[in-house]
A and B are shown apart, each in its own frame.
Chain A
Amino acid sequence: EAQVTQNPRYLITVTGKKLTVTCSQNMNHEYMSWYRQDPGLGLRQIYYSMNVEVTDKGDVPEGYKVSRKEKRNFPLILESPSPNQTSLYFCASSHRWDGNSPLHFGNGTRLTVT
């Protein structure tokens, strides 16, 4: 089944403790991205990648890192999480980086930073 898999689904951590949210897609998609969803703000893009070893900042990149060493994986790294990073996170992928290719979303990761 074609899908974008995020793990974990829920995560509670403490301020300053490094964490990684994994994202993997099995559709051989070139394009992958991360969004965060906050009430009243919709979804905002954190980082995106147009292909292996090519990443770029989205609208809210501060406090996050990403890497794209393989086509299928695009982990989101929080080196020193803070409470304002408590949010619902989505990974998404598409075949190409234009509007003709639909974005496939993962099921989300609910992160709480205390």
Chain B
Amino acid sequence: AQTVTQSQPEMSVQEAETVTLSCTYDTSENNYYLFWYKQPPSRQMILVIRQEAYKQQNATENRFSVNFQKAAKSFSLKISDSQLGDTAMYFCAFMKHASGSRLTFGEGTQLTVNP
């Protein structure tokens, strides 16, 4: 079974600064996907970024980028130029290829961006 661990329950950052959220996972699979989801106070689950395990290149989406270290089973999210609207709970998630889209989520990290 896969497990996903987010070791930082809470983090804070000043507006315009950069912050990195950590995520580690455990799997014996070789083909899989990794995701970061954002959950603002509205409760909506919003996909931030997606990484395919077979791709060496780290995914980026505007101010969001990941550091994917497959051998270390690490998948951290970097948020650059943090904005107040980035305040949210962030979940790291794992999906085994052809698994019926079953996502295994981490515990979540509550990020607060301070003005």
CB within 8 Å of B: which residues of A? Answer: 31, 33, 35, 40-45, 48, 50, 56, 58-59, 88, 90, 92, 94, 96-99, 101-103, 105, 107-108
CA distance A63 to B111 in the complex (A): 33
Q: Does B101 contact A (CB under 8 A)?
A: yes
Contact B91 A43 (CB under 8 A): yes
Apart from A33-B101, A99-B33, A99-B101, 4 more pairs, CB < 8 Å? A42-B106, A43-B91, A88-B43, A96-B101
Interface residue from A33, A42, A98, A99 paired with B105 (Cβ < 8 Å): A42
Q: How far is the CA of A93 from the CA of B91 in the complex (A)?
A: 18
Per-position 1/0 for B1-19, Cβ under 8 A of A: 0001010010000000000
Taking Cβ atoms with an 8 Å cutoff, the residues of B that contact A are: 4, 6, 9, 32-33, 42-45, 47, 50, 52, 91, 93, 95, 97-98, 100-108
Contacts of A108 in B (CB 8 A): 43-45
> Do B103 and A45 have beta carbons less than 8 Å apart?
yes
Residues of A within 8 A of B47 (CB): 102-103
Instruction: Report yes or no: A31 in contact with B44, Cβ–Cβ below 8 A.
Output: no
Q: In the assembled complex, which residues on chain A have CB atoms less than 8 Å from the CB atom of B98?
A: 97-98
- 5 pairs of A and B residues whose beta carbons are closest in the complex: A99-B33, A42-B105, A105-B45, A108-B43, A43-B105
Q: Which of B42, B97, B100, B103 interacts with A43 by CB under 8 Å?
A: B103
Decide if B108 touches A42 in the complex (CB within 8 Å): yes
Question: With A and B bound together, what is the CA distance between A86 and B105 in angstroms?
Answer: 19
